[in-house]
Structure 1
Amino acid sequence: MNPIKEDRRVRKTRRAILDALLSLTREQGLHAVTVGGITDRADINRATFYAHYRDKQDLIEQAVSEVLSEWGTVEEHRWAGSGSEVDFDRLLPIFTHMFEKIGKHAEFYRIMLGPGGYPGFSENLRDVMCRLIRHSHHRVLELKRARPLVDPDIYLSYVTSAQLGVIIHWLHQETPHSPEYMAEQLMLLYRLGAVQAADYEG
């Protein structure tokens, strides 16, 4: 068989398997999903499933890994400018890129972060965000040659939890706002802080 056709066939089969997993998880909760249910929904036989995955857990882990691997392009951005101050203007493209990546796989994120989803996914996502923020935060401290007012670990826990909460809210509301709008809102929270951002204009 032509390698290109074979590759397309593999991608199509894996897509069908993942779609089956997500639809069943949305209906039943991930714990109730079985390989048999996946193969029935995807209209494939078990041999085809096992040609791609060892079991349901392997399918989940590979799917999570593939989705989160796209965050590598987010991490290529830099938070700190060339000077000694934080360049907040650089936050906008970083956050926009982040929400674009999440929006691209919104259904996956929504289901896996939902009540019947994959319990480990929120921690996987938190770890990725923590790594991104830690790199940026440490870079800023190096440039400013200053000691942080807040313990770095506490700061990271606060920021990543808040950011994850915003992401989950956006997903559960069926992504009513564009990635650009969400990025602008998140940037304002970073720039102003939670207390000042809660104030009103006028």
Structure 2
Amino acid sequence: MMTTVQRRTKTETKIRDAFIELMQEKGFEAMTVSSIVRLADINRGTFYLHYLDKFDLKQQLIDDAIDDLAEILVDSDARSGRSAVGDVLDIFRTEAIAEALRYVKREYAFFDAISRSGNDMQMYDRFKDVLKRMLISQAKRLDLTSHTFADIPQPYAMEILVSSVSSIIWLWIRGGCKETPERICAIIERNKTMAPLDILR
């Protein structure tokens, strides 16, 4: 699979790299188009051929990352014609989660810059939405069409499942992706069968 990162032009890559560096050094508020083009060593006209302003640049970069994650977590199943999962414990496919974590680790500088941008939780919320799409897709394959699960209404049950996985991954990103993707997958796997209070016992 070729990601949007791999499909970028040389100019777009230079702009993205400058954006990441400035996010880490100055933060988004202090960043200007002038500082981006100076660091990327391009002229303003070239920047505006690709983006409207710094807000559009940030949005397009987030959209690209989410598209890549959706391709890994959701779309690859449909494209490959993979058969239905066999068990409810497979509803978050370990293989797909591991590949998504490897992608995040490869693109860590970008995810780190976005995750440290203060109150910007757009990436976190959109990542949760991708996981929710994966969950819905897999639930349909398992024919889980109930409106309640363990006497919990479906929207709440889905939030419990998705939030636990996305929170583990986001904590990993915020902590510097120090553990291997395989280790984080093992934690997510353990989380599937463990009640929250079991951790305290």
Give the corresponding residue for 2:73: 74
1:38-187 correspondence runs (5 A): 38-71=36-69, 72-75=71-74, 76-77=76-77, 81-82=85-86, 85-88=87-90, 91-116=93-118, 118-140=120-142, 142=143, 147-149=148-150, 150-187=152-189
The alpha-carbon deviation at position 20 of structure 1 amounts to 0.9
Larger Rg computed on CA atoms? 1
SS state at 2:29 partner = helix
RMSD between aligned residues: 2.8
- Assess if the C-alpha contact under 8 Å between 2:149 and 2:157 holds in 1: no
TM-score in terms of structure 1 length: 0.79
Q: CA deviation at 1:187?
A: 0.9
Taking structure 2 as the reference length, what is the TM-score of the superposition? 0.80
Deviation, 1:35, is 0.6
- Give the unaligned 5+ runs of structure 2: 1-5
SS of 1:163 mapped into structure 2: helix
Paired AA for residue 39 in structure 2: R
1:85-140 deviation per Cα after TM superposition (whole angstroms, max 9, x unaligned): 42549732122122112212111112112243744222222221221123223443
Contact between 1:113 and 1:121, CA under 8 Å: does it hold in 2?
A: yes
Residues in 2 aligned to 1:136 and 1:79: alpha-carbon distance in whole angstroms: 10
5+ unaligned residues in a row in structure 1: which ranges?
Answer: 1-7
* Alignment deviations for residues 63-82 of structure 1 (CA, whole Å, 9 cap, x no partner): 11211111212213479634
Residue of 8, 11, 27 corresponding to 2:9? 11
Q: Which 4+ residue blocks in structure 1 deviate beyond 6 angstroms?
A: none
Distance 2:118 2:192 in 1: 31
The answer for the alignment partner of 2:3 in structure 1 is none
Q: Distance in 2 between matches of 1:22 and 1:46?
A: 18
Greater displacement, 70-79 / 154-163: 70-79
Q: How many residue pairs align between the two structures?
A: 188
Q: How many angstroms does 1:194 deviate by?
A: 2.4
The answer as to 2:25 corresponding to 1:27 is yes
